[in-house]
């Protein structure tokens, strides 16, 4: 097989993806350890569910005013300013955004804390909801740190600095683990342990802001209150407002699912969160890494009016995203039970909680490729400065999620909510892809069908081998924990080897590209 010789830019893209992926792997593994410790200490209890629900609020605003709508609007404009005016002009624009975001956050947080404190002190809410509102008062200030940190991270990415921005979540995880350890060392009860976690969140958020800010200052940025606006800032608001509406709808979607789960019983939020977190591990490690690296490339291609470069970068990125998300989703579907038993069957998290989480993880495993494709397609539209289409799509998905959530939860409880999430993700990925392919003629389904077919065939073969291996290993007379550990240790790496061998035999395009890059790099060394 004749393999193409990669360009220097292609190799740099791969290097940047590796940097972001490795940083994200460290963050996700620490996040996984954090969740293991929290669930071992709190189980699927009311306090854990209340903490998760309260933590959803600042994360909702982070997606709106931080790494979501605002970041997506900044990237193409920052890229344009950087091309025209260099770093000094780009940093001046960044300061304009920073000052206005800071003021908006102070107002939102102040009003939000007053409203939540009033709700927590009143006698009109059930005790479960009062607990959640009280925790939210403490956690809401986290959004100040994380939203400002997300804007600084955009600046770092666009000047070619990926590692620090990608690794800052590690600081949050370390801070929360340290706070939990301190609470356990002080022999705190469950309530005080949760408030220790709230303190860890605030400290971690402060560190997430300071570390990337220091790195960006080393690149020449100086934080200043820029009162005067400009044409770039005007264009930002034009892109940001519709993007904000779309992101708001998506985040309300998540909030609705958790509020509906919170209304079911004390543990539904916890198990739904746990299943989604396990699904987000491969999503965050690879999909977000690819999107983070390719987004500036897509924006730059359009800034240079190079449709060919845009289409080539988008199709390559989507092949990489699907090539990883499909086998990861199949792995979660097939091996969900031993994975959960190995990681979370400790302390207060019992076998009944494992069995309640397994079907949710299987459903999210099916949806993982859909979430991945929707994430990347959204970046493609944002790079095109099309913020209106994701808004319309997000509104349709909100209605789909709400309708099917209310319907299916009557029959399948939390599993019905997970199924509603996946149905809305299916609609989102299809509608976004259709809109993007209509806008960019160089992007078509026909160009991707051969690659997708190879991925599905290889993934199905991997899933079958993993299922047979798990069935064989389950025949040994071992304890639950040991059996789960053996299954995961054999099936996960073994399944990955089988999958990549099948991809190689099927001549999957990105396998050839990576092999060419590797040999070309060795020859240059």
Provide, rounded to the nearest whole percent, the portion of the chain with pLDDT above 70. Answer: 89
Question: How far is the C-alpha of 24 from the C-alpha of 399, rounded, in Å?
Answer: 32
- Reference 38, options 197, 153, 152; nearest CA is 197
Q: Which pLDDT score is estimated for 300? A: 81
Q: Pick the residue with more confidence: 153 or 415? A: 415
Question: How far is the C-alpha of 38 from the C-alpha of 28, rounded, in Å?
Answer: 15
- 2 occurs within a structural domain: no
What are the pLDDT digits (tens) for 346-377? Answer: 999 999 999 999 999 999 999 999 999 998 99
The predicted model gives 45-53 an average pLDDT of 93
The predicted model gives 510-525 an average pLDDT of 48
Q: Pick the residue with more confidence: 265 or 8? A: 265
Q: Which pLDDT score is estimated for 139? A: 96
Q: Which stretch of 142-156, 245-259, 466-480 has the lowest confidence by average pLDDT? A: 245-259
Q: Which pLDDT score is estimated for 20? A: 63
- Reference 241, options 106, 388, 109, 94; nearest CA is 388
- 1 occurs within a structural domain: no
Question: How far is the C-alpha of 453 from the C-alpha of 460, rounded, in Å?
Answer: 11
The predicted model gives 418-435 an average pLDDT of 93
Q: How far is CA 268 from CA 35, 347, 357, in A?
A: 16, 19, 9
Residue 326 has pLDDT above 80, yes or no: yes
What are the pLDDT digits (tens) for 80-97? Answer: 888 787 788 888 888 888
The predicted model gives 167-181 an average pLDDT of 92
- 3 occurs within a structural domain: no
**Is residue 294 very low, low, confident or very high in pLDDT (cuts 50, 70, 90)?**
confident
The predicted model gives 134-160 an average pLDDT of 89
Q: Are 342 and 485 in contact (CB under 8 A)?
A: yes
- 263 occurs within a structural domain: yes
- 259 occurs within a structural domain: yes
- 505 occurs within a structural domain: yes
Tally of helices (H runs) and strands (E runs) in the chain = 18, 0
- 315 occurs within a structural domain: yes
Question: How high is the mean pLDDT of the chain?
Answer: 85
Q: Are 209 and 152 in contact (CB under 8 A)?
A: yes
- Which 8-state DSSP code applies to residue 284? I
Three-state secondary-structure class, residue 2: coil
Q: Which stretch of 243-252, 263-272, 434-443 has the lowest confidence by average pLDDT? A: 243-252
Q: Which pLDDT score is estimated for 17? A: 60
174 — phi, psi (to 5°)? -65, -40
- The residue length of the chain stands at 525
- Which 8-state DSSP code applies to residue 356? H
Q: Which residue matches tokens 């958790």? A: 258
What are the pLDDT digits (tens) for 182-238? Answer: 999 998 889 999 999 999 999 999 999 999 999 999 988 988 877 776 777 777 777
Provide, rounded to the nearest whole percent, the portion of the chain with pLDDT above 90. Answer: 46
Q: Which pLDDT score is estimated for 2? A: 43
Residue 507 has pLDDT above 60, yes or no: yes
Q: Pick the residue with more confidence: 313 or 405? A: 405
Question: How far is the C-alpha of 508 from the C-alpha of 486, rounded, in Å?
Answer: 31
Task: Quote the distance between the C-alpha of residue 460 and its chain's center.
Answer: 25
The predicted model gives 15-19 an average pLDDT of 61
pTM value surpassing 0.85? no
How many domains is the chain partitioned into structurally?
1
Residue 306 has pLDDT above 80, yes or no: yes
- 270 occurs within a structural domain: yes
Q: Are 416 and 405 in contact (CB under 8 A)?
A: yes
Three-state secondary-structure class, residue 388: helix
DSSP class per residue in 7-32: PHHHHHHHHHHHHHHHHHHHHHHHHH
Q: Which pLDDT score is estimated for 301? A: 86
Q: Which pLDDT score is estimated for 83? A: 79
Question: How far is the C-alpha of 250 from the C-alpha of 185, rounded, in Å?
Answer: 39
Q: Which domain holds residue 317?
A: 8-524
Q: Indicate the burial class of 127 (C-beta count within 10 angstroms; 0-12, 13-18, 19 or more).
A: exposed
Q: Pick the residue with more confidence: 281 or 14? A: 281
Residue 67 has pLDDT above 50, yes or no: yes
Q: Which pLDDT score is estimated for 443? A: 82
Q: Are 432 and 378 in contact (CB under 8 A)?
A: yes
Tokens standing for residue 355 = 């069995």
**Is residue 169 very low, low, confident or very high in pLDDT (cuts 50, 70, 90)?**
confident
**Is residue 5 very low, low, confident or very high in pLDDT (cuts 50, 70, 90)?**
very low
């Amino acid at each position: 097989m004749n393999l193409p010789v990669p360009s220097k830019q292609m190799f740099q893209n791969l290097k940047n993806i590796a940097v972001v992926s490795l940083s994200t792997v460290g963050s996700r593994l620490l996040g996984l350890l954090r969740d293991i410790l929290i669930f071992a200490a709190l189980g699927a209890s009311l306090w854990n569910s209340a903490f998760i629900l309260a933590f959803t609020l600042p994360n909702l605003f982070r997606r709106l005013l931080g790494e979501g709508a605002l970041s997506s609007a900044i990237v193409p404009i920052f890229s344009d300013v950087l091309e025209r005016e260099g770093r000094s002009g780009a940093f001046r624009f960044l300061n304009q955004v920073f000052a206005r975001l800071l003021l908006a956050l102070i107002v939102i947080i102040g009003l939000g804390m007053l409203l939540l404190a009033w709700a927590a002190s009143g006698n009109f809410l059930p005790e479960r909801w009062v607990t959640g509102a009280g925790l939210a008062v403490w956690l809401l200030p986290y959004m100040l740190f994380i939203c400002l940190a997300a804007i600084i991270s955009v600046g770092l990415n666009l000047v070619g600095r990926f590692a620090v921005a990608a690794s800052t979540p590690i600081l949050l995880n370390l801070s929360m683990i340290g706070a939990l350890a301190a609470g356990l060392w002080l022999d705190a009860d469950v309530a005080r342990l949760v408030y220790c976690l709230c303190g860890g969140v605030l400290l971690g958020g402060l560190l997430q802001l300071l570390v990337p800010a220091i790195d960006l200052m080393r690149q020449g940025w100086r934080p200043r209150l820029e009162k005067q606006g400009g044409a770039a800032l005007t264009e930002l608001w034009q892109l940001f407002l519709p993007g904000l509406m779309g992101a708001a709808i998506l985040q309300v979607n998540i909030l609705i699912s958790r509020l509906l789960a919170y209304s079911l019983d004390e543990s539904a939020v916890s198990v739904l969160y746990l299943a989604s977190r396990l699904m987000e591990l491969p999503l965050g490690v690879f999909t977000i890494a690819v999107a983070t690296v390719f987004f500036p490339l897509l924006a730059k291609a359009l800034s240079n009016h190079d449709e060919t470069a845009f289409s080539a970068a988008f199709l390559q990125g989507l092949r990489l995203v699907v090539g990883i998300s499909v086998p990861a989703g199949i792995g979660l579907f097939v091996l969900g039970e031993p994975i959960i038993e190995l990681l979370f069957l400790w302390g207060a998290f019992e076998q009944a909680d494992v069995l309640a989480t397994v079907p949710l993880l299987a459903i999210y495993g099916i949806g993982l490729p859909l979430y991945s494709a929707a994430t990347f397609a959204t970046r493609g539209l944002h790079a095109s400065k099309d913020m209106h289409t994701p808004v319309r799509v997000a509104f349709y998905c909100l209605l789909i999620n709400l309708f099917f959530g209310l319907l299916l939860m009557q029959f399948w409880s939390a599993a019905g909510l997970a199924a509603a999430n996946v149905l809305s993700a299916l609609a989102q990925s299809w509608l976004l892809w259709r809109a993007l392919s209509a806008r960019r003629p160089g992007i078509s389904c026909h160009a991707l069908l051969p690659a997708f077919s190879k991925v599905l065939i290889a993934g199905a073969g991997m899933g079958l081998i993993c299922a047979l291996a798990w069935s064989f290993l389950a025949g040994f007379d071992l304890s639950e924990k040991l059996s789960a550990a053996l299954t995961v240790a054999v099936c996960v790496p073994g399944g990955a080897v089988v999958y990549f061998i099948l991809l190689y035999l099927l001549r999957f395009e990105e396998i050839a590209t990576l092999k060419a890059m590797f040999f070309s790099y060795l020859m240059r060394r």
